[in-house]
Amino acid sequence: MREKVWWVWALLFQVGAIAVVFMAGLGCSSVFPFVPEQRGPTAQSVSSWYLSIEHRIEEGEGLPLLSGVGLRVVRRICPRPALSALHLDFQEGEKPRSPLCDLFLAVSDDGEVFVFAVRAGEFPSFSLGHLDPVPSSSSASFEVGEGGGTLLFAEKNLLRRFRLPSLELAEILDRVPSDIQALTVSPEGESALFGAGDGRVYRWSWSEGMHPSERALGRFDLERYFSHRNVVSAVAYHPTGRVFFSGDWNGALFAWKSFDQDPYGGAFDRNIFGTGFFTETTTTRPVPGSLAARIEQIAVNEVGDALAAAYDSGHVDVWKVRGLLKRQRLLHHRGTVTLLSISPDGDTVLTVGRDERIVVSRITTEPFPELGTVRYGNERLLEERMPGVRSAIFLGNRTVLLGGSSGVRLLQVPQEAITPRKIEEVSVSERQDLTEMGGGVASEDEGSPREEGFE
């Protein structure tokens, strides 16, 4: 009898040992929650096909991009710059550095996709083929991940994701209950952020390594963010990827810290939210001083120290991201602003309006510590009628790549102002106390938003 008992216990021990080894090989996913690998700021995209195209362009194989080709959108495609290149933790008074990139993707009016470079004023290019289906509406919007692995195409309430460079249709998101009004891609190129007509901001993730057990922890591929009371008409990511901004038809502008894993461990949260620590809750904060008008565009410069919002009234507001401090309000147009871009140093603002004019202004900052004041100024550098401009990308602080109905061209920003400088002196003691917080986040499967405990 004792021998039988010993044999049973020995068998159970061996089975248990085998099970432990097997579970360890699987990462113990059936026992412990699966934690996806943190994607560092220097991680490249899944695809580096653009490097071979860049090499072929250097060898002179690229064909000239036809100047008469109508382009719906032009976007930069580069691997995400290293944290040292972003230089986000710069000291006061120190100008941040800007990463350089001169490889771009363009989508033509008939759905053909080009990759091109900027070489001494020329634009050698390669065609990747045509999108299928071809965009049928002029209101369709496109965005490209900076890593060059994904092209997004939004039309009405459908969002299509194409793989690059094959242009293969990877998947279609059809779970958005209202039309998509604004679209952007995260700096990592692994998720999309879009505003919709139902007053919600959505975040769609397609490449996060989620385990099925994580659904019980509240993680989903489509998240909803609540705070707006009207149509969300503009969205933009901060270069860190953790923080994003959204604006609506009422002129409400919010900064969000997303419900997500943070590759920087929350190191830069203090610049906007003053926390300096990592949480897995969503925090939202209203940006002070926005205009009570419909927000048409939001832009953040490459290094993340300047934020701007453009309105249907023709005005543009500019903030310093650290502390969300208002710098200037500009009047660039007599109607809707259709395009907004900021230079890497955050001091030059470019807009295009429905009036078909392109306007460029420079913002100046002159601190007076002994008086406790800061003197902000602005001066206009350029104002010119330029029909058909749909994209504007700063290449450095003084050169802009323009794309539109007539193809692409380079614009040099003048150094001399064409209008007298306007000065506004602001007391340092008038810094806004940004302690208000609110909002919530929910998955698409939940019937109502989950209110988070905000710090």
Number of domains forming the structure of the chain: 1
Using the structure block, give the residue that is written with the tokens 């502390």. 323
Flag whether 51 is in a domain.
no
Asked if pLDDT for residue 178 goes beyond 60, the answer is yes
What CATH code is carried by the domain that includes residue 327? Answer: 2.130.10.10
State the maximum Cα–Cα separation within the chain, in Å, rounded to a whole number: 103
Both tokens of residue 155? 């039309």
Give pLDDT, residue 62: 78
Give pLDDT, residue 6: 55
pLDDT digits (tens, 9 = 90+) for 16-63: 555 544 444 433 322 222 223 333 333 344 346 777 887 788 787 878
- Residue 170, helix vs strand vs coil: strand
Give pLDDT, residue 33: 28
Flag whether 107 is in a domain.
yes
Asked if pLDDT for residue 422 goes beyond 90, the answer is no
| List of residues 6+ apart from 307 with CB closer than 8 A | 245, 287, 298, 299, 300, 318, 319, 320, 321, 324
Flag whether 39 is in a domain.
no
pLDDT digits (tens, 9 = 90+) for 192-220: 999 999 999 999 988 655 555 555 554 56
| pTM for the model | 0.76
d(CA 333, CA 329): 12
Both tokens of residue 419? 């209008």
Asked if pLDDT for residue 376 goes beyond 90, the answer is no
pLDDT band of residue 266 (cuts 50, 70, 90) is low
Asked if pLDDT for residue 190 goes beyond 60, the answer is yes
Flag whether 38 is in a domain.
no
pLDDT digits (tens, 9 = 90+) for 276-299: 434 445 678 999 999 999 999 999
Using the structure block, give the residue that is written with the tokens 């991201």. 321
d(CA 395, CA 315): 24
pLDDT band of residue 179 (cuts 50, 70, 90) is very high
Give pLDDT, residue 27: 36
Flag whether 112 is in a domain.
yes
- Are residues 117 and 102 in contact, defined by beta-carbon separation less than 8 angstroms? yes
pLDDT band of residue 229 (cuts 50, 70, 90) is very high
Flag whether 12 is in a domain.
no
pLDDT digits (tens, 9 = 90+) for 393-407: 999 899 999 999 989
Share of the chain above pLDDT 70, in %: 66
Flag whether 153 is in a domain.
yes
* Cα end-to-end distance, the chain, whole Å: 64
Both tokens of residue 20? 């432990």
Considering the chain, what is the average pLDDT of its residues? 75
Domain with 341 in it: 59-451
Flag whether 358 is in a domain.
yes
